[in-house]
Amino acid sequence: MSWISDGLAALGGLPVPVLLAVAFVASFAESGLGVGMLLPGETAVLILGASARDTVLLAALFVIVAIGACAGDHIGYLLGRRYGRRMRETRIVHKLGVEHWDRAVDTLRRRGALAIVLTRLLPIVRTFTPAAAGVAGMPYRRFLPASLLAGLLWSAVYVFAGAAAGASIHAVERFIGNAGWIVFAALAVILLAVLLWRRRRKCAAEPDATERELDRVADREH
């Protein structure tokens, strides 16, 4: 497992402005309407949290990720204000799922601005909720604090979860040492063997299915 800790150490050694810029872009993309489909923002934030080499950088990541998430919310909010109820019929909504849009709208109707916070940890729904707020004409003075609070919640979960994962990796590495490579290799061999066995069974079953189909065709002809 040393390659994991070595990779995190190399990432943590990058200039702080670069790390913070990546963190902002990742969180912005994850919250931006549809952009998160292209960039795995949650994964990037987890990795950055795991690579943080000190508490100062970890705190900076927490703040930057929260701001990025809030900024991403504004894409949906502004689009909602721009397109209104036509938003439901847009290509991006249909691509991500109309059912998620309806869920976001329903939550917003019942919870108001609090819905932006409550749906923050729900994939896709969280992306639609700011847009639904824009469609509903939610005043910006209510939207902004809710979005900031939601961004802080999302940032806390993923940045600190990443930090905890990074600490766990180092602890496990110290505990098992080189034995980790043996375990990893054994698991890889077992997985490969299972995949080959399943492939062989599938190949063996296909001729039998073909023969049964030919028999049915022959019976119909008679």
- Pair 169, 11: CB distance under 8 Å: no
pLDDT in the model for residue 6? 57
pLDDT in the model for residue 217? 44
CA distance linking residue 184 with residue 117, whole number of Å: 40
User: Cβ–Cβ contacts within 10 Å for residue 115, how many?
Assistant: 26
User: Cβ–Cβ contacts within 10 Å for residue 147, how many?
Assistant: 28
pLDDT in the model for residue 100? 82
Distance of CA 211 to the CA centre of its chain: 45
**CA 65 to each of CA 47, 87, 112, 129, 141: distance values in angstroms, whole numbers, following the listed order:** 13, 27, 24, 19, 21
Which segments of the chain have a pLDDT < 50? 1, 209-210, 213-214, 217
pLDDT in the model for residue 16? 85
pLDDT digits (tens, 9 = 90+) for 1-34: 455 555 666 666 778 898 899 889 888 988 876 5
Q: Secondary structure of the chain in the HEC alphabet?
A: CHHHHHHHHHHHCCCHHHHHHHHHHHHHHHHCCCHHHCCCHHHHHHHHHHHCCCHHHHHHHHHHHHHHHHHHHHHHHHHHHHHHHHHHHCHHHHHHCHHHHHHHHHHHHHHCCHHHHHCCCCCCHHHHHHHHHHHCCCCHHHHHHHHHHHHHHHHHHHHHHHHHHHHHHHHHHHHHCCHHHHHHHHHHHHHHHHHHHHHHHHHHHHHHHHHHHHHHHHHHHC
